Amino acid sequence: MIDHAPRASAGPELPAPDDLVLRLTGEITTKGRRTRLRFQRRLVDHLRDAVESAGEDCLVRPEWSRIYLRAGSAAFPSVARVFGVSSFSVVEAECPADLGEIVSVGRSTYGARVQGRRFAVRARRAGKHAFNSADVMRELGAALGSGATVDLSNPDISVHVEIRDDRALFYSERLEGARGLPLGAEARAVCLLSGGFDSAVAAWMMLRRGVALDYVFCNLGGDAYQRLVLEVAQSIASRWSYGTRPTLISLDFEPVVTELQRVFRPSYQQIGLKRVMYRTAAALAARLGADAIVTGEAVGQVSSQTLANLRAIDDSSPIPVLRPLVGMDKEEIIARSREIGTYELSARVREYCSISTGRPATAASPEAVLQEEEALDRGVLEDAIDSAGLFDLRGLDLARLAGDSVFSQDVPDGSVVLDTRPAEQYRTWHWPGAKNLDYGTLLSSFNRMDREKTYLLYCEVGLKSARVAELMQSAGYEAYSFLGGVRALRRRAMAPDRQPAEAKPSGRKPDRR
């Protein structure tokens, strides 16, 4: 049974070789005793969840400044993603806390490894012993020194000996942890998630500060867009949210946008959309018991994110709006997305937040925006909230959810291929024999097309065409969007074995009754 209470003395559950010794972040160790114990208990629970999520059993032994964890090596990458861990090391050997034993075990473990190299011995000690840390470093250093060079400033290998009461542990590497605060150490918030680089990185940065998150997705692009956003959200939930069960709330925002475009002048539509999104997130936060809204906004990145416009947007929310990316540039955000594992997923997501056809306002006043939205039918927003879908991200089976996919990775034999990009892009390159019907034209005219034919659609990244394919399927057509958009289709065209697929792509066969 795992004991969550820190202990000063060693017991029968000391680490064995290949176990881990974990160090807490300074933000935990500098807290008062009660807060520190509360954070550490939470961290222990999260470590157990991380290990079990990797399919391994674990044993956790917390002490005042260390946590010892016994688990299979398959769980080590998950442990590295638990917030609150500053660094950790794989224990390579152990022995009783006797100076002669320490020298003997250290020499047998590291003697061959330090030969011909520069090395250092580092020792830490807690408890009462007949020797001190300097004795360990001197004696073990002398035992290892034959054929090697002591270099305390720039060693090739550092031999660490950690002595605690009646045992000594050996390790040679310090691996970086996720740092930050244990998840849930702070209150809850909701994150407005679009699936793009910004909102995913913003979510991760707040998780790292101990804020547990649920996600609000205002869907402007249909089921295909929703599936891609769910992939991003599930990646964050499964890799970085140990100890919590985050949910994603998905709202059909197309009726809301239609209402916004009816009421707002084009120059104010982007600001109006953000205000409605904030209002939606605040209403859902009240239901979830969350205290703030998290967004991926950075000052000046787009027109709606000027300081003046952010001021005009902020008063639509009765709770604080947190912007962890506020001072970052796009390159920094993308670099961080690579580090946390969301880059490849976010790169596939085309955001639909640009709804204005006119030149957007860059310095709107709160008074002017309030005047614009006086005629807004609030019932449309209430309907969107009441009909929202809820997804348990850590329990979500995305393959099952996709089910009857609109995507294809082949060009079905005899299909009509439709290029939905603008004409100038079509002229640059298109699939041989493809017809050009831009997105807007196809959206308004597909119901006049032959229902007995099979259609393959493609666009820049595959999302707009997927939206039309969904609508066509709902209307009884057999229609698909090429997975990955025009880039993937060009690779397919250049493949040496390119031939039209003999079989239809997997997916739903529409009912033509």
State the pLDDT at residue 510: 38
Residue 8 within any structural domain of the chain: no
Where residue 507 falls (left for φ over 0; alpha for ψ -120 to 50; beta otherwise) is left
Residue 139 within any structural domain of the chain: yes
Spatial distance between the Cα atoms of 18 and 499, rounded to a whole number of angstroms: 52
Check whether 7 has a pLDDT greater than 70: no
Query: Which residues form the domain of 113?
Result: 98-164
Residue count of the chain:
513
> 435-436 and 66-71 as β-strands: parallel, antiparallel, unpaired?
unpaired
Check whether 334 has a pLDDT greater than 70: yes
Section 356-382 average pLDDT: 82
- Which of 346, 375, 402 is where one domain is finished? 402
Where residue 122 falls (left for φ over 0; alpha for ψ -120 to 50; beta otherwise) is beta
By percentage, how much of the chain surpasses pLDDT 90? 61
State the pLDDT at residue 2: 35
Residue 18 within any structural domain of the chain: no
Section 88-95 average pLDDT: 93
- Give the lowest-confidence range in 326-330, 454-458, 493-497: 493-497
Higher pLDDT, residue 8 or 170 = 170
Higher pLDDT, residue 82 or 225 = 82
Residue 76 within any structural domain of the chain: no
State the pLDDT at residue 143: 95
Mean pLDDT of the chain: 87
Q: Are residues 287 and 391 in the same domain?
A: yes
DSSP 327-348: T--HHHHHHHHHHHT-HHHHTT
Residue 104 within any structural domain of the chain: yes
Section 371-391 average pLDDT: 91
Section 375-383 average pLDDT: 91
Check whether 73 has a pLDDT greater than 90: no
Q: Are residues 309 and 425 in the same domain?
A: no
Q: Are residues 147 and 198 in the same domain?
A: no
State the pLDDT at residue 357: 64
Residue 34 within any structural domain of the chain: no
CA distances from 200 to 72, 197, 213, 307, 343 (A): 30, 6, 12, 22, 9
Query: Given pLDDT bands bounded at 50, 70 and 90, which one contains residue 218?
Result: very high
Q: Are residues 357 and 234 in the same domain?
A: yes
CATH of the domain at 106: 3.30.2130.30
State the pLDDT at residue 449: 93
Query: Domain tally for the chain?
Result: 3
Section 107-113 average pLDDT: 95
CATH of the domain at 448: 3.40.250.10
Residue 13 within any structural domain of the chain: no
CA distances from 87 to 20, 54, 327 (A): 10, 19, 27
CATH of the domain at 287: 3.40.50.620
Q: Are residues 414 and 397 in the same domain?
A: no
Q: Are residues 199 and 331 in the same domain?
A: yes
Check whether 319 has a pLDDT greater than 60: yes
Reported as a single tens digit per residue, the pLDDT across 9-28 is 333 344 444 489 999 999 99
Q: Are residues 291 and 357 in the same domain?
A: yes
Q: Which residues are catalytic?
A: 459
State the pLDDT at residue 509: 41
